[in-house]
Amino acid sequence: MSTSEGFREELLHAGLLVDGGVLGVYHRSFRYEAIVRGVQAYVSAPASGESFLQLALPPVQARSTLERSGYVSSFPNLLGLVSSFAGTEKEVSAFLEETDAGGDWMARMTPTDVALCSAACHGLYPMLAGSSVPAEGRRYEVHAWCFRHEPSADPARMQSFRMHEFVYVGTPSGAEAHREAWIGRATGLLEGLGLAVDVVPANDPFFGRAGRLLASNQRTKELKYELVAPISSVAPGAISSGNYHEDHFGSAFDLLVDGEVAHSSCFAFGLDRISLALLYRHGLDTADWPADVLRRLTADLDAGARAAT
């Protein structure tokens, strides 16, 4: 299991994942999904006593959210739009004839007002647009299917994947404290699953020359940290991240706190990447995993095993 491609083949051979026909797209077995559910419950449990508004967000969002958040200009190579046929009933006949003749049916598609979700927290900010948050801030726990267009044979680079996030919107000091607290908490949680975790400064893959300046600024100001561990090969990759957005979303969505532009931060658990890291670390048969890891995830793993029989 020294290469990501080799690990991918092992996952496919074991039936944990099934090739979806496009690089980075997979069907998931119930056994694999049991691991994901176990991880999600495990990382969510420590926040059960705190006042988080919990939301499960859909895999699609308003296209305007991508535009207003700045995602379009920062990551045009990663985004995905939903297109549909918007022609009249009369034009349907021409569309069908062209399609049956092997024509380019995509040329008749028109982008809709819907885009694929890019990050779990992005759907929150339009809900708050134009409002003032209380001085103590607002906290959210959100879960969503996300999409990023980066096809790869590395199973850690899925185009469609799950993120579980803890988000804060409020004062600058509150946003920084939220991120720092979750970096420490998450490190302990992931190490509790037997993963060798390092916390490293990082930057997002911004696009173009302006993006390189943004990435440099992100590293210089230490706005983003990643928790890395071996996922699909010996080289470590990000399985979680803590991000301090400063006033980026506050400015974009007109959010205020105490009369000032609100700041925000989030901590994201990559549920699929953590699940892959566990399979890489402990083996493809969960029955052979360490007892202490199984105790933390047993309920859903048992349910997945029963469903697979």
List the end-to-end C-alpha distance of the chain, in Å, as a whole number: 27
The CA distance from 238 to 158, in Å, is 13
The CA distance from 65 to 126, in Å, is 7
Walk across the sheet containing 109-116 and list its strands. 60-62, 109-116, 81-85
Band of pLDDT at residue 155, cut at 50, 70 and 90: very high
Supply the pLDDT for residue 212: 64
CATH number of 4-80+118-308: 3.30.930.10
What tens digit of pLDDT does each residue of 29-70 get? 999 999 999 999 999 998 877 788 999 999 999 999 999 999
Supply the pLDDT for residue 102: 85
What's the DSSP call for residue 120?
G
Check pLDDT > 80 for residue 306.
Answer: no
Check pLDDT > 70 for residue 194.
Answer: yes
Supply the pLDDT for residue 210: 58
Of 264, 222, 224, which is closest to residue 242 (Cα–Cα)?
224
Supply the pLDDT for residue 307: 53
- CB burial string 16-55: b at 16+ within 10 A, e below: bbeeeeebbebebbebbbbbbbbbbebbbeeeeeeebeee
Question: Which residue is it, tokens 């974009």?
Answer: 252
Mean pLDDT of 219-235: 91
Least confident of 209-223, 229-243, 260-274: 209-223
What number of helices (H) and strands (E) belong to the chain?
Answer: 11, 15
Check pLDDT > 90 for residue 97.
Answer: no
Q: What percent of the chain has pLDDT over 70?
A: 91
Supply the pLDDT for residue 309: 47
Supply the pLDDT for residue 204: 67
Supply the pLDDT for residue 213: 60
What tens digit of pLDDT does each residue of 276-292 get? 999 999 999 999 999 99
Specify the higher pLDDT residue, 100 or 205: 100
Tell me how far the alpha carbon of residue 115 is from its chain's centroid.
Answer: 15
Which among 48-52, 97-101, 285-289, 297-301 has the top mean pLDDT? 285-289
Check pLDDT > 70 for residue 211.
Answer: no
Q: What percent of the chain has pLDDT over 90?
A: 77
Boundaries of every domain in the chain: 4-80+118-308, 87-115
Residue 65 near residue 308 (C-beta atoms within 8 A): no
The CA distance from 156 to 145, in Å, is 15
Check pLDDT > 50 for residue 1.
Answer: no
Specify the higher pLDDT residue, 57 or 210: 57
Rounded mean pLDDT of the chain? 91
Supply the pLDDT for residue 302: 60
Supply the pLDDT for residue 90: 82
Check pLDDT > 50 for residue 238.
Answer: yes
